[in-house]
Every structure is written in C-alpha cells, then in structure tokens.
A and B are shown apart, each in its own frame.
Chain A
Amino acid sequence: MRGHLAPHRFPEKTPRVQSPNTRSTLLMAPALLWLTALMVVPCGLIFALGFFRRGLYGGIEYTFTLENFALIVDPLYAGIFLTSARIAGLATLIAVIIGYAAAYAIAAAPRHRQPLLLFLAVLPFWSNYLIRTYAWIVLLNREGLITQGLRMLGYEGEPPSMLYTEGAVITGLVYNYLPFVILACYAPLARLNPELAEASRDLGASAFTTFRRVILPMTVPGIAAGAVFVFVLSIGNFITPALLGGGRFQMMGNLIYAQFLTANDWPFGAAISMVLIAIMMGLLTLQAIAAEKGAGEKREGADG
C-alpha cells in the first residue's frame, strides 16, 4: 500500500486503498469521540444548566429561566466578582511587571546561558500547585519563617498577620503563575532583532524611548498571552483563596465550588462558569488582536 500516512503532496494512486483523509479520520476518531463524550457534551450540559431553575430542595427544575444570570449582576454577587477581578487584575499586573523584567534580563544574558536560566525560571512551575501554595503558608503563618526572621532582627511585638490577607492571596497567585509569564515574554524578546534597538539609539532616541517605542510594542503579544493566562487562572481560582485567604476572599472559582459542593445551586454555578468562559474567550480574542497588531509592527520594522 502506497503512501501510508503521507500528506497530500504524495497523491494516492491505488484506487483500492482509503484516501488519506478517510485514514486520518479513522486515526482521530477514538480521541475525538473521547473529547466529545467527556468534554463537549459535559460543557454543553453546563451551558444548558445555566438556563434552568434551581429545585426547591436543591436539584434542578427543568424550566427555562434567565434568573441565574440576573443573580450575577445582583449587588451581592457583583461585589464578589469585582473583588475577584481586582485581585486577579493586581496579580496579573505584578506578575507581568516581574515576569517581563526577568524575561528581559534572561534575553540580555549571554546566549549560551539563556537555556539554563530559562529552565531554572520554569522549574518551580513543574512542582505541584498545592505544594507551591503551601510553601507560602510555611513562610507567612504567625509562627512562620518571616516572623522568625523579624524576631531575629530584634522585633518583639505581636507576630504580623500576613496569612489570610489579600496580599497573601495575590502573592500566591503571582508566585504560581510567574514562570508562565517569563516564558511568554521571553519568546518575543529573544526573537527581537538587536539592530532595531541600535538603529533607534543611532537616530537619537534615549534608552527609555527606545524601549517604549521599539522594544515594548514588538513584545506586546507575549505580554498579552501571559496576562490572559494569569488573569483567567487567577479569577477562576479556588485553591489559593481557600488556602492563603483562609476563605475570607472569594474568587469566581470559590463561588462555583460553593454552588456545586455546599450551596447545591447547580444552575447558578453553571451560569458563573459560563461567565468565566466568556471572560476567557473575550480576553483571548483581545490577545489575538494584540498579536496581529504586533505582527504588523514587526513587518513595518522589517521593511523600514
């Protein structure tokens, strides 16, 4: 049989055998069926659930309603959403600033050292999320290492309360997602043509202007990709607020968790999940636009 798995540039000549596309479909079928049964259908179910009513004693009443979405803009819940958007936004901002600076420093290091530096920056990302979060409990709790450090420096007052604060939650989120931002920002920085920055400086631009007008615009897609990732994972998080916020700070993730496991209001939980997905899609679209714009700038840069 000719052309096993061959792409289209090797046209199939024997009429007996399946066309490459039939074979391709057969190869993909098991995985696509799995994804359909255990991802598409369940997610479709969540989509549908969001439009049903909660039963009197938990459970689901199958009548169409928009109540769940109305509840989302109810001041009580809208407040929670705004808080989680603020926490996620701050975490994103800090992670992007630190991550960009780190990526910039790595890209500026001697070329042969860059792979190792990048590897070291991403390594912590490979350990368990719970463990990385737990490490901050060890540092921040009242008898934790930071308190010990302060005592050694002669501090004698009450141990500062650092755990179970908004700052702890933000620190945990930044810590967990920073390696991703470094990776996302490093890629465009490493591809940057150093001659462009040189040209800008030769034309009399200051280092800051060169950064703002030349380097930054060309690396926006990387920043945007990192930012979307951090924001979406932060706003939908429930582990970090539960462990480092002591349950005092609710993110959308905690709210979804509660609707399914304690409040037993699945339709409302489903509606919140849909909002979360909508936020993600919206941000990804913006990111794609930023990437296209960045590609445009790059072409201009190459032409001029």
Chain B
Amino acid sequence: MITMENVCKSYKVAKRNAGFKAACKAFFHREYEIINALSDVSFTINDGEMVGYIGPNGAGKSSTIKILSGILTPDSGTVLVDGRIPYQDRINHVSNIGVVFGQRSQLWWDVPVIDSFELLRDIYSIPGNLYKNNVEELTELLGLQELLRSPARQLSLGQRMRCEIAASLIHSPKILFLDEPTIGLDAVSKIAVREFIKKQNELHGTTVILTTHDMQDIEALSKRIILVGKGKILLDGSLEEIKKGNANIDETVAELYRSFEI
C-alpha cells in the first residue's frame, strides 16, 4: 500500500533573460524563483491497483514518482510505501520496486542487453532459478529473443523500451513505477507495452503507477486516474466518472485541463 499525506516539495530555480549580457549579470547576482512542485499532495493506492497519474507538463508528476521511489526527499509530509519511508530506508525500499524512466536508459550502453540483465541479477541478488524463470517469461511476453544479444545502443527506441521494462521487472517487484513508458514509441510497440503491463498486473498482482501524456495508455490500462496540476491533486476518480458519454478521451482530458485552468 502506498500513502502520501500532505506532501510538499519545492525547488529553487535560477532565472535570467536571454543573451550574453544577462548571463554575465546572472553570474554575479542570481535571481531565484521558488517553484512549488508539489503542495499538499495526499492519496492512497492499494495493492494490485493500476493508477494513471496525469497532468500537464510541469504539474509535478515526475516529482511524485521520484519521491515515491526514494530519489527525492520531500520538504514536508509523510510518505509510506509498504510501511517504509522511501528516502530513509532507500536500500530496502528499492529492492521491492521497479522503475522505468521513459527518458532515461537504465541499460548499459555498450554491452549486449543480456549482460545488463546479469549485472542486475547480482545487484538485486536474485536467486538463480527465479532469475532464469523471470528472464524466460519476460523474453516471451515482450518478444526479446532477437534483442538480448545486441548492445543497447544499437536497438531502436521501441526495442530498447521493451528491454528497459524487462530490466525493471527482473527482480519481480511488487510495485512498478512507469514514467512515460510509451514516449516516442510506434503504434505496434505501444500496444505491445500496454498489453504486457496489463498482463503483469493480472499474473502477479503488481501495483502499477503510470504517468503519461498518451490518454490511450490510460484508457487501456487504468481504471483510476489522479489528475495533478500546479502541484495539487485536482481530481481522483475513475475514468468513467470523468468521461461524458462517448466523448473522445483526449478531448475529455483537454476539457478537464481547461476547466481547472492548468
């Protein structure tokens, strides 16, 4: 179970105008602006749930994922994931979660993917049998047979993303965080990734928290959505509740964004 209560997080961002002169000025006197990435965010997610976490760019989605995965420390508020405080008990916490950053590779760039998997086996101390079973299962479900022996840098984006997802699940985590997993993928890969995530949830009861701008992802995967804007939770409910009749999901969400002025 994941709970966040009254979580706040702010960043100090340096600002300056364009141009060399402004850069020189900023070198001596820097103007900062405090950005409230999260203000007073609270929610609870139960085991086995699939939740779509949506909002416009800069709404605080990634900050939430980073706090939940123990990368960032919140300014205030309490965070509990399976009874642990992620940023305090980092090592125990992260051995039970899997994280995919759509924008950032976790594979070793120059070596075949299978070498990365083997290193992950040692990092997570996965017992030999479990590792073998997991690799077999993931290879089959994600169609990795041909990819495992190529270096990550020579894979296409879609192929690499499939390997990234496999890498994040190799230690059978109970919770999976996906930060824009379908960004830049073609239709075939997108569908493959969605199908896989769905199956993972059904087979193993993995809790999935997914941030995305692709509303089809949400429609295909999650019953529950949490909408954030300007660091606040604006809406927490089921997809059906929001959708008016047979309106297109993209239009529905655009309408939502407009109504909240975010």
Do A and B share a complex? no
User: Which residues of A approach B to under 8 Å, CB–CB?
Assistant: none
User: Which residues of B approach A to under 8 Å, CB–CB?
Assistant: none
